[in-house]
Amino acid sequence: MATEVKLHRNGDQIEVTLLLSLRPGTSMMDYEQEILDALNESGRLATRECLKEFDTDGSPIVLGGIKLTSKGLVVKNYQSPYGEMVISRHVYQSSEGGATFCPLDQQARIVDSTTPRFAKMCSHKYALLNSVSAQEDLADNHGRKVSRCYLQDIAQAVAAIAQAKEVHWKYAEPELPASVATVALGVDGTCLLYCEEGFRQAMVGTLSLYDTMGERLHTVYLGAPPEYGKERFYGMMEQEIQRYKQRYGVADWVGVADGAHDHWTWLERWTDQSILDFWHAAGYLEKAAAGVCSSRKARTAWFEKSRDCLKEEPGGAKKLLREMRNALARRQPRGAAGQDLEAAISYFQNHLPKMDYARFRKDCLPIGSGVTEAACKTVVKQRLCGSGMKWKHSGAATVLSLRSLILTKGRWEQFWNKIDRFGF
């Protein structure tokens, strides 16, 4: 293969000419690899010229009321989707010394030493894949060989921008096919392994929009690394809630979660009514069946009948609570059967107002916390709980920040549009 790339300026235009000669008889796979290599080379040269457009001519500039002068052209290596480039650009400093400033880096939205598109690619892959897989993906599919440390550093730099701007940058939900009638909040915790502290609980929160028929229209996902007191996590959730209260304050605001007391203490501050996850309640009924009925066949029949009663009959939870109390008094089951029956009775007693499922379904409200429980897997487990994985706090925070943006439909593109528009 012979490749020739020519680059020249025609007025205000940057023109790139690529001449690629391919040998006959080569396999299609080899042809494609040669084409990719040639395109990367032309892209690298074009990107180098484009970056120069964001530099100054070396004249003094004023930044924040302070006059800065150029220290001259300083060489720096930049990474792009097409390859590495070496560029000489002006670096500025005040007459009193101190920190330096590079106009090219700021105007071109360079993240560390990386062009914005490559930073977007690397951080996206690192958020969804482990570092080895992300490294292999870049090499195999893009012809870009980078180190694992480089991927981690770029992802951390992008996540730092997201975290610094989370208070100031607002994100719009995608265009919705129907009006919003209900906003459901959910929070849950799931464990991941820390290097020094062992297993700790990360937090996941969801804010879901539903139409009048109970169809889910959109969900905001938030994840936070383990922390004592969970202040930062709840602060993130409250910021989202305040923004959505402004948009959908007239909607029905409901909390949907399992039976964890600390979750409900927080949820009830922000919602008009509370809904206990139906499937958790049904799980208690299934375990209680051994204490209510003597035979296996009778237990199965009672559980199925009781589950339907709980879901569909007005006052079903109260009816089942009486039935379980009567069975406990009448049969006085011992061992595990008795313990499970007593646990179900206590669970129903403690959460009875949150178990009016027949009314919730009539009002087209969600009765399951599956959205939040699934988020524990998609936001946290799939990336942070692979075989042999251990994390430090900063690494877990990086991944969770990026995955929250990526998994919430529309936010990843909005985030980069804001970087392109406002910088950081």
138 pLDDT above the threshold of 80 = yes
262 shares its domain with 136: no
Residue at a domain's end among 86, 108, 130: 108
Instruction: Look at residue 209 and tell me whether its pLDDT is greater than 80.
Output: yes
Whether 152 and 211 map to the same domain: the answer is no
Shared domain check, 225 and 115: no
80 and 223 both lie in a single domain? no
Residue 56 dihedral angles phi and psi, to the nearest 5°: -95, 175
Beta bridge partners of 93: 69
Residue 321 sits in the same domain as residue 385: no
67 pLDDT above the threshold of 80: yes
Amino acid identity at 422: F
The H or E element containing residue 250 is: none
Percent helix, strand and coil across the chain, each rounded to 5? 50, 25, 25
Residues 380 and 260 in one domain: yes
Report pLDDT digits (tens) over 235-289. Answer: 999 999 999 999 999 999 999 999 788 899 999 999 999 999 999 999 999 999 9
d(CA 1, CA 27): 13
User: What are 319-365's pLDDT values in tens digits?
Assistant: 999 999 999 999 999 999 999 999 999 999 999 999 999 999 999 99
Domain count, the chain: 5
**Which domain range does residue 312 map to?**
278-362
Give the model's pLDDT for residue 291.
95
Q: Same domain for 380 and 240?
A: yes
Q: Are residues 270 and 188 in the same domain?
A: yes
Which tens digit of pLDDT belongs to each residue from 167-177? 889 999 899 99
| Same structural domain, 273 and 205 | yes
Q: Which pLDDT value is given to residue 167? A: 86
Do 288 and 355 reside in the same domain of the chain?
Answer: yes
Residue 81 in this model has a pLDDT that exceeds 70: yes
Q: What is the pTM of this model?
A: 0.91
Q: In the predicted model, what is the mean pLDDT of the chain?
A: 94
Q: Are 234 and 378 found together in one domain?
A: yes
Give the Cα separation of 313 and 291 in Å (integer): 23
Same domain for 152 and 260: no
Q: Which of 70, 93, 108 is the last residue of a domain?
A: 108
How far apart are alpha carbons 19 and 28 in whole angstroms? 19
